[in-house]
Structure 1
Amino acid sequence: MSELGELDRPETPDSPGVWDEHSQKWLMGAAETDVRDTETTQTPSQTTTPATRAGRRGTADPVKALMHRHRELCERAVDPLEIAAGLEAHGVTDRTAARFRHRDVFSLAEEMYARVSKDAETAPQSTPPPAPGVRADWVLLSMLPGALCAATITGLHLTGGRVRPAVATLGALAVALAVRAALGRGPLSARSHPAPPGTYPRRPSAATRLWTYWLLAYALLGNDLLTVALTDGPHGVPAAVRDLSPAPALALTLACVPAAWCAHLFAAGARRKLAASRGLADFTAAVKPLLLGAVALFLCLSTVLVALCATVLHEPAAYTTTVTLGALLLLARLLTKHGPTHAPAVVLGAAAAAEAATLATAFASHAPGCAFLAAPLDAVVAAGGPAGIPAAACGGAALLLLLHATRSLTRASAHATPGEPG
């Protein structure tokens, strides 16, 4: 008896194990063997009949083997689309489905769902997971970074002398802890449970955190440091640090609120579309406008916050630098929560490297015989100011992540498994 045939013998079900590349090849090989065996017993004029379909579910039935592999997924699924999303998350494509005699993944999922329904007609019906709701904890936590940053800026304006550095240090530490708390709960949090085998990890890597810290630090100090580096060199760094502009930091911390709400609206809308869609293509077409709308809404709200902070603090409004960085961080967080974490790390690293290379080149231009290094930077600064460099770096990185997100975040598998209560 073949290995697939042995799966039909009555026995206690065991763990389906980890879905890996070997399992994929095994199932593909099983499907090809079944296709060849059936083709040798049929003539070209024969058509698929109920008897043929019943025979296909016999001892050489690759679909049954696939159901055995994904037994838990099939048992808890409330509709075929949930099975299709799970298969998609494990790397099953339309080409793989064709080996099981189905035109696409959704058609294969429909057969698997129908078989489970017939085998468990008396089982209690499951209810689909509810869309994430609004909770007071993450709403308040998203407001905390902006409130603490505003308090720190107020303390800096009211103090002076040796007390001022202590206020700045304690305030920066408090804001950092508040941001960490805001990212730990609610729609911006990474998933707390492990990802299914063969799918993406849901935790940001250490590299992602490092690049994020650099980008935030550059938003606070970078433009002043670049100006000083091109004019005075390393000797002007203390003055740049002392006279830093807090408006971008305040705008970015306040932007945690619209970021959380936009992420919540996107996740809730995607969950509703997942329950209403009748196929993977339908779901993708319905979710893409939700993603673009959430990003556009965040851009509008963050622009308003930048203008408000600049007006209150009587400073120039750094629209391009702050808004593009906010969009970049939002997209990176959405991908970390719902999709692969490798792309955000790479793109954030590229943007941070561009900014670091700019500062290094500006300072290196003061070395003997290296004045020519400052020529391209002088041209860029003369054309768009020192904010043009981080705006180009973060804007280009955000555009790349948006293009990537329109593919990875519009897949049903990105929203199939519920995360933390939202």
Structure 2
Amino acid sequence: MAALHLTHGQTRLLAATAGTLAVTLSLRAALIRGPLSAQRSGTPGTLIWTCWLLAYAALGDGLLKAAASGGPEALPTTAPDAPWPITTAPLLTLTISCAPAAWLAHHFATRARQKLATSRALEEFAASVRPFLLGTVGLFLAAVAAVAALLPLTAVFSVDEPTPYAQTLTLAALLFLARLLALHGFTHAPAVILTATATAQATALATLFAARLPHCAFLATPVETLIDTWGPGAIPTLTCGTAALALLIHATRKLPRASAHARTATRW
């Protein structure tokens, strides 16, 4: 990220390529080994839709705003005042937040197994795990908010753009809950929710371009109303926020079950 802000031309392209490769390989290692690794990570399409959500966090708001005004007329750049700006702060925040996510996932699994060993009834176990789950999610969001707030103060990253807190927090919550459920064997709901979220964002973009066809201007009315009222960030905030809430409700039903933690006992 620092290289993107400090370089130009071909050097910036090389820096972006090298940085993307390095982050991708390290993220892959984090998801294959350690506290964030799952025996089954969901359907093959889950990775594609997750990449879409991350790409939208970096490029979506700028493209949405440009499309609403008849663009885009240029390729995306990291300049904040560009016609199509790249928002790097959410990706950097999410990357750094992998560390607290891994620790909290490990802590939740360990404490849940301890409670499973000492509980005298399944109802008692569920009643003790549910508030602990909510506290784990709350601590993760607090960590993400702290990282997002400290990024502009960290000169080494050269992040001089405003951090979209709402979009970043809702996306972080969605990805963390999806991974937490997958760690304990519940992969279907995260796959469905991630697919639906990415599809909703893609549809919002598609309607703006489809509205340019003859007699199709009405297609863009809902999205343009959201943009005019709350800004382009309303689309990812609403889609990711709704999806995260749905996964949180699902997690409070599935993760307090004893069977969810018996599955992972042999992996730790």
- Amino acid of the residue matched to residue 222 of structure 1? G
Which residue in the other structure is 1:17 paired with? none
**What is the rounded CA distance, in whole Å, between the counterparts of 2:76 and 2:19 in structure 1?**
20
In structure 2, relative to structure 1, the CA distance for the partners of 1:306 and 1:321 (3 Å cut) is: same
Displacement of 1:369 in angstroms is 2.7
SS across alignment from 2:226: helix
1:337-376 to 2 correspondences below 5 Å: 337-376=183-222
Aligned to 1:85: none
Query: What is the TM-score when the length of structure 2 is the normalising length?
Result: 0.91
Cα distance change of structure 1 residues 242 and 164 upon mapping to structure 2, 3 Å threshold: farther
The answer on whether the counterparts of 2:62 and 2:84 sit within 8 Å (CA) in structure 1 is no
Alpha-carbon distance in 2 for matches of 1:298, 1:238:
31
The separation in 2 between residues aligned to 1:370 and 1:182, in whole angstroms, is 45
Preserved CA contact (<8 Å) 1:183 1:189: yes
Q: Where does 1:159-178 land on structure 2 (aligned, <5 Å)?
A: 159-178=7-26
Tell me which residue corresponds to 1:274: 116
Structure number having the greater helix percentage:
2
Identity of counterpart residues, as a percentage?
53
| Per-residue deviation, 1:366 | 2.3
- How far 1:236 sits from its partner (Å)? 4.2
After superposition, give the CA deviation of every residue in 1:91-118 in whole Å (9 maximum; x if it has no partner): xxxxxxxxxxxxxxxxxxxxxxxxxxxx
**Is 1:207 the counterpart of 2:45 in the alignment?**
yes
Q: Which has the bigger relative contact order, CA under 8 A and spacing at least 6?
A: 2
Deviation at 1:225, TM superposition (A): 0.6
Do structure 1's residue 218 and structure 2's residue 65 form an aligned pair? no
- Whole-angstrom distance in 1 between the partners of 2:257 and 2:117: 14
| 2:170 counterpart of 1:324 | yes
**Matches of 1:357 and 1:265 in 2, distance apart?**
38
Partners in 2 of 1:168 and 1:279 — Cα distance? 53
Find the partner of 2:36 among 180, 184, 188.
188
Q: Distance in 1 between matches of 2:83 and 2:100?
A: 29
Q: Is residue 253 of structure 2 the alignment partner of residue 407 of structure 1?
A: yes
Distance 1:337 1:293 in 2: 18
Is the Cα contact below 8 Å between 2:177 and 2:248 reproduced in 1? yes
1:241 and 1:382 mapped to 2: Cα distance?
17
Report deviation, 1:245. 2.0
Give yes or no for contact 1:331–1:405 (8 Å, CA) kept in 2: yes
Distance 1:376 1:284, change over 3 A: same
Matched, 1:252 2:90: no
Whichever residue aligns with residue 177 of structure 2, its letter is L
Alignment partner, residue 141 of structure 2: 299
Q: Which residue type is aligned with residue 305 of structure 1?
A: V
The yes-or-no answer on 1:230 pairing with 2:68 is yes
Q: What SS does the corresponding residue of 2:93 show, helix, strand or coil?
A: helix
Q: Which moved more, 1:175-184 or 1:301-310?
A: 301-310
Count of paired positions: 259
Q: CA deviation at 1:272?
A: 0.7
Alignment TM-score, normalising by the size of structure 1? 0.59
Please tell me the root mean square deviation across aligned C-alpha atoms, in Å. Answer: 1.7
Q: CA deviation at 1:166?
A: 1.9
Aligned-pair CA distance for 1:367: 2.5
Contact 1:228 1:237 in 2 (8 A): no
Q: How does 1:67-216 map onto structure 2 within 5 Å?
A: 153-191=1-39, 202-216=40-54
CA contact (8 A) 1:306 1:319 kept: yes
Counterpart amino acid of residue 54 in structure 2: L
Q: Is there any run of 5+ residues in structure 1 with no aligned partner, and where?
A: 1-152, 192-201
Aligned counterpart for 2:230 among listed residues 384, 389, 392:
384
Q: Deviations over 1:320-371 (max 9, x none)?
A: 1111101100110011110321100000001000000001111222233322
